[in-house]
Amino acid sequence: MRILFVGDIYGRPGREAAGHFVPLIRETAKIDFVVGNGENAAGGRGPTESVAKELFAVGIDALTLGNHTWDRKETLPLLNDPRVFRPANYPPGVPGRGAGVFSVNGVRVAVLQVMGRHHMDMIDCPFQSADAFLKNPGAEVVVVDMHAEMSSEKQAMGWHLNGRVAAVLGTHTHVQTADNRVLPGGTAYIGDVGMTGPRDGIIGGDRGPALERFLTGIRVRLTVAEGDAQFCAVIVDIDELTGRARSIERVFNVFERPEPKKKE
């Protein structure tokens, strides 16, 4: 089984890049299942129903979210969709679900998202939440989106779940890391899959407002950068019989967006 995981999809440029590359890679790399992180998909903060529909239409099977889950009220109805997952370690009673199981060519594949706590929201423990889910995952293959700020916390999750899941894939920091490997227990790991979004912004945001934040300390509103987009993902090859990874391959492509039309 081959799973494509698309890194944080940021705004319209990210959606366009995903729309171009996901169908292409699904066909050429013989992909069986696609997961995308969509927490920045609508204007950089949270998805909407129309944006999610757009991403499902291009071949993404499941969407994970993250700390921007609650930024838009328009996201709340999406949390009822069984293909959309917010972090599982929010307290009981919070809307939405943190995991789900899909049937892929007769094999049950679970998608689980947990979120780190360092420099993030102080919610329930992601390690204990993952352990609780794995007591009865209801699937032969488990893929974990570890949405976290600190590389050490992501690495800790990789080693904590080593040998128990097919993959632990880091998201949130928007910069693709070069530490992809299969851990000794058969768990594919990468510190951050990277961002699918504007290539010439600052982690997706327009450079002007982002630089103003750093230069003045004033929290001005960030906007989505324009220009060409990058597509960051990983392809994980998994043995369905054991539920463990054979390989993990980084994907980085550039999508050349057309120049915006000038007003006459």
Distances (CA, A) of 197 to 17, 47, 194: 7, 14, 9
**Cα dihedral sign, 219-220-223-228:** negative
Residue 53: inside a domain: yes
Verdict on whether the full-model pTM lies above 0.85:
yes
| Tens digits of residue pLDDT in 104-153 | 999 999 999 999 998 888 799 999 999 999 999 999 999 999 999 999 99
Catalytically annotated residue among 68, 147, 172, 174: 68
Domain tally for the chain?
Answer: 1
96, 84 in Cβ contact below 8 A?
yes
Structure token pair of residue 181? 């490997």
3-state SS, residue 143:
strand
Fill in the amino acid letter for 98: G
Residue 115: inside a domain: yes
Going residue by residue through the chain, which has 264 residues, state the pLDDT in tens, using 9 for 90 and above: 999 999 999 999 999 999 999 999 999 999 999 999 999 999 888 899 999 999 999 999 999 999 998 888 889 999 999 999 999 999 999 999 999 999 999 999 999 999 999 888 879 999 999 999 999 999 999 999 999 999 999 999 999 999 999 999 999 999 999 999 999 999 999 999 999 999 999 999 999 999 998 999 988 888 999 999 999 999 999 999 999 999 999 999 999 987 764 443
Residue 188: inside a domain: yes
Residue 194's Cβ-side half-sphere holds a number of Cα atoms within 13 Å equal to 23
Residue 261: inside a domain: no
- What ranges in the chain are assigned the alpha helix state H? 11-28, 49-57, 126-134, 151-160, 207-216
219, 32 in Cβ contact below 8 A?
no
pLDDT of residue 120: 85
> Distance between CA atoms of 6 and 24, rounded to whole angstroms?
13
pLDDT of residue 262: 46
Residue 262: inside a domain: no
Residue 65: inside a domain: yes
- The yes-or-no answer on residue 147 being catalytic is no
> Distance between CA atoms of 34 and 169, rounded to whole angstroms?
13
CATH number of residue 138's parent domain:
3.60.21.10
What is the domain range of residue 127? Answer: 2-255
